[in-house]
Amino acid sequence: MATVSHLLLRALPEGLEPLAELALDLRWTWSHASDRLWRALDPEGWELTHNPWAILQHVPQARLQQLAQDQEFLEELRQSVAAHQEYLQQPGWYGHGAAVRPLGLIAYFSMEFGLGEALPLYAGGLGILAGDYLKTASDLDVPMIGVGLLHQEGYFRQLLDSDGWQVEAYPYNDPISLPIRPVLAASGEWLRVMLELPGRTLRLRAWQAQVGRRQLYLLDSNDPLNSPTDRGITSKLYDDRREIRLLQEMALGLGGWRLLQALNLPVEVCHLNEGHAAFAVLERARGFMVESGQPFAVALWATRAGTIFTTHTPVAAGFDTFAPELMRRYFRDYAAELGIAIEQLLALGRQDPQRSEEPFNTALLALRGSGAVNGVSRLHGEVSRRLFQPLYPRWPAREVPVQHVTNGVHVPSWDSEWADALWTRACGKERWRGALDVLPEAIQCLSDGELWAFRSQGRQALVRAVRHHLRAQRRHRGDEPQALAEAEVVLDPYVLTLGFARRFTGYKRPTLLLQDPERLTRLLTHPERPVQLVVAGKAHPQDDEGKRLLQQLVHFTDQPAVRRRAVFLEDYDMALAEHLVQGVDLWLNTPRRPWEACGTSGMKVLVNGGLNFSELDGWWAEAYAPEVGWALGDGREHLEAEWDLAEAGQLYELLERQIVPEFYERDALGIPLHWVARMRASMAQLTPRCSSNRMLREYVEELYLPALQRLRQRQADGGRLAQELCAWHTALERYWPQVHFGRLEVQRQEDRWNFRVAVYLGELDPVCVRVELYADPAEGQAAVCVPMCRGESLPGAVHGFLYHGSVPASRPAEHFTPRLVPWHPAARVPLEAGHILWQR
314 in a structural domain: yes
For 418-438, the pLDDT digits (tens) are 999 999 999 988 888 888 888
Same domain, 34 and 133: no
What does the DSSP 8-state code read for residue 691?
A: B
For 330-381, the pLDDT digits (tens) are 999 999 999 999 999 999 999 999 999 999 999 999 999 999 999 999 999 9
Same domain, 394 and 443: no
Taking alpha carbons only, the member of 291, 240, 237, 241 closest to residue 264 is: 291
* pLDDT at residue 320 greater than cutoff 90: yes
Same domain, 670 and 579: yes
Instruction: Name the residue with higher pLDDT: 65 or 641.
Output: 65
Same domain, 752 and 812: yes
480 in a structural domain: yes
Same domain, 403 and 422: no
Lowest mean pLDDT among 195-199, 795-799, 825-829: 795-799
CATH code, domain carrying 376: 3.40.50.2000
Same domain, 316 and 379: yes
pLDDT at res. 519: 97
Helix (H) or strand (E) holding 466: helix 448-477
Taking alpha carbons only, the member of 407, 408, 410, 468 closest to residue 29 is: 410
The domain tally of the chain equals 4
pLDDT at res. 434: 80
CATH code, domain carrying 812: 2.60.40
Same domain, 80 and 119: no
Band (pLDDT 50/70/90 cuts) for residue 95 is: confident
Taking alpha carbons only, the member of 280, 305, 300, 306 closest to residue 288 is: 300
* pLDDT at residue 154 greater than cutoff 80: no
Average pLDDT over residues 515-536: 97
100 in a structural domain: no
Same domain, 461 and 318: no
**516, amino acid identity:** D
Torsion of CA 628, 629, 634, 638, to 10 degrees: -130
159 in a structural domain: no
517 in a structural domain: yes
User: Residue 530 and residue 521: Cα distance in Å, rounded?
Assistant: 10
pLDDT at res. 102: 81
Pairing of strands 531-536, 566-569: parallel
Average pLDDT over residues 480-503: 93
For 597-622, the pLDDT digits (tens) are 999 999 999 999 999 999 999 999 99
pLDDT at res. 6: 61
User: Residue 799 and residue 759: Cα distance in Å, rounded?
Assistant: 8
Taking alpha carbons only, the member of 253, 472, 506 closest to residue 363 is: 253
User: Residue 463 and residue 489: Cα distance in Å, rounded?
Assistant: 9
pLDDT at res. 5: 59
Average pLDDT over residues 242-271: 97
Query: 42, 63, 89 — which closes off a domain?
Result: 89
pLDDT at res. 91: 85
User: Residue 631 and residue 615: Cα distance in Å, rounded?
Assistant: 6
Same domain, 430 and 291: no
Phi, psi of 660 (to 5 degrees): -60, -50
For 209-246, the pLDDT digits (tens) are 999 999 999 999 999 999 999 999 999 999 989 999 99
pLDDT at res. 2: 37
Torsion of CA 317, 124, 593, 511, to 10 degrees: -110
pLDDT at res. 767: 97
Q: What is the mean pLDDT of the chain?
A: 95
* pLDDT at residue 549 greater than cutoff 70: yes
* pLDDT at residue 463 greater than cutoff 60: yes
pLDDT at res. 1: 37
pLDDT at res. 4: 66
Beta strands in 119-223 (DSSP E): 120-121, 144-149, 157-160, 166-169, 181-182, 192-197, 200-211, 214-220
Phi, psi of 609 (to 5 degrees): 80, 5
Same domain, 54 and 18: yes
Band (pLDDT 50/70/90 cuts) for residue 98 is: low
For 8-23, the pLDDT digits (tens) are 767 899 999 999 999 9
Average pLDDT over residues 771-799: 94
225 in a structural domain: no
* pLDDT at residue 99 greater than cutoff 60: no
User: Residue 226 and residue 229: Cα distance in Å, rounded?
Assistant: 8
For 668-709, the pLDDT digits (tens) are 999 999 999 999 999 999 999 999 999 999 999 999 999 999
pLDDT at res. 10: 79
Q: What count of other Cβ atoms lies within 10 Å of the Cβ of residue 162?
A: 8
210 in a structural domain: no
Strand order, beta sheet including 740-749: 740-749, 752-760, 800-808, 789-793
* pLDDT at residue 100 greater than cutoff 60: no
Torsion of CA 658, 659, 660, 665, to 10 degrees: 80
Residue-number span of the structural domain to which 505 is assigned? 411-690
436 in a structural domain: yes
Same domain, 420 and 389: no
Query: What does each C-alpha distance from 321 to 276, 317, 373, 584, 739 come to in angstroms?
Result: 10, 9, 19, 39, 35
* pLDDT at residue 477 greater than cutoff 50: yes
Average pLDDT over residues 271-283: 98
Name every residue whose Cβ is closer than 8 Å to that of residue 40 and which is 6 or more positions away in sequence: 67, 73, 76
Q: 188-209 as b/e, with b when 16 or more CB fall inside 10 Å?
A: eeebbbebebeeeebbbbbbbb
What's the first-to-final CA gap in the chain, in angstroms?
A: 72
Same domain, 428 and 556: yes
Q: What percent of the chain has pLDDT over 70?
A: 99
Query: 89, 121, 138 — which closes off a domain?
Result: 89
Task: Give bridge partners of residue 778 from the DSSP assignment.
Answer: 781
